[in-house]
Amino acid sequence: TVRQAGGVGVMASVDSTGLSVSGRLRSGDLLHIGLILVLLLGAWGVGGLEVSTGKVSSIEAMNGSTVLLPCTYSSCIGIKNLYFNWKYNDNGTFLKLCEAEIPTEKVEPKVHVFHERVEFVGSSKTNNISILLWNITFEDEGEYTCFARNPKEKNRNHSAIFTLIVVDQMKEVDNTLTVIIVSVLGGVIGLVILIMVIKAVVLHVLHKGNEKTKECLVSSSGNDNTENGLSGAKADNKATPKA
């Protein structure tokens, strides 16, 4: 069909359903572009910046001791000017403990510490941004947040919480069940060894007894043959006439 648009003839093909082929092509292109964007966003999300405090997200420590607050970061596409900080949640008020910026991978950051008992012990060589908290008190108990932001990923950020529990003494672990299990296993193993030793001794004694019995039988058989030989010789001597 031919359509007039501003005095200019425009050709447009129409299929049997009456839909413009060019319109369908535009719809298909938009669908493909949408799929590509979804895939790109999914890949970016999977490989994005993440921080972690490890498999254990809390720790119990004695009053007056020193504890490690662990935190590591990871990014599949790398980092540039990675910003991180540690904050303590003091009843809803977040107190900044330290902060720094890592220019690039394998370059150590210049850390600004805002707490007298906090020490940065991490290293960009191992993607580690952990801190030490010295001489802890009961007031230090609570949640500590490790935060990081990566400008290389359009300022993607991530955080992880580590909980500190301060106690006056460590709980004693009840090892009664463990002791019972170890004792039972030790008794069973000892009994098996004792049975094996008794069995070996009995077999040894029986073996020696069989050897002595065989020796006696052999000796008895030899003596019988000797006596029989002597008797036959005497009989021959008696039967021989005198000359």
- State the Cα–Cα distance between residues 100 and 110, nearest whole angstrom: 6
Residues 75-128: tens digit of each pLDDT: 999 999 999 999 999 999 999 999 999 999 999 999 999 999 999 999 999 999
In this prediction, residue 114 carries a pLDDT of 98
> Where does the pLDDT of residue 240 fall: very low under 50, low under 70, confident under 90, or very high at 90 and above?
low
HEC secondary structure over 94-120: EEEEEEEEECCCCCCCCCEECCCCEEE
Q: What is the pLDDT of residues 164-184, one digit of tens each?
A: 999 998 666 667 778 888 888
CB 149 within 8 A of CB 80: no
What is each CA distance from 219 to 3, 202, 208, 228, in whole angstroms? 132, 26, 17, 14
Structure tokens at 219: 């000796």
Place 236 in a pLDDT band, splitting at 50, 70 and 90.
low
- The CATH number given to 50-167 is 2.60.40.10
Task: Give the residue, 127 or 232, on which the prediction is more confident.
Answer: 127
The per-residue pLDDT for range 191-204, each reduced to its tens digit, is 899 898 998 888 88
Bridging pattern class, strands 58-62 and 156-167: parallel
CA dihedral 146, 109, 106, 148 (to 10 degrees): 20
- Residue 39: pLDDT above 70? no
Backbone angles phi, psi at 182, to 5 degrees: -65, -40
| Predicted pLDDT at 67 | 97
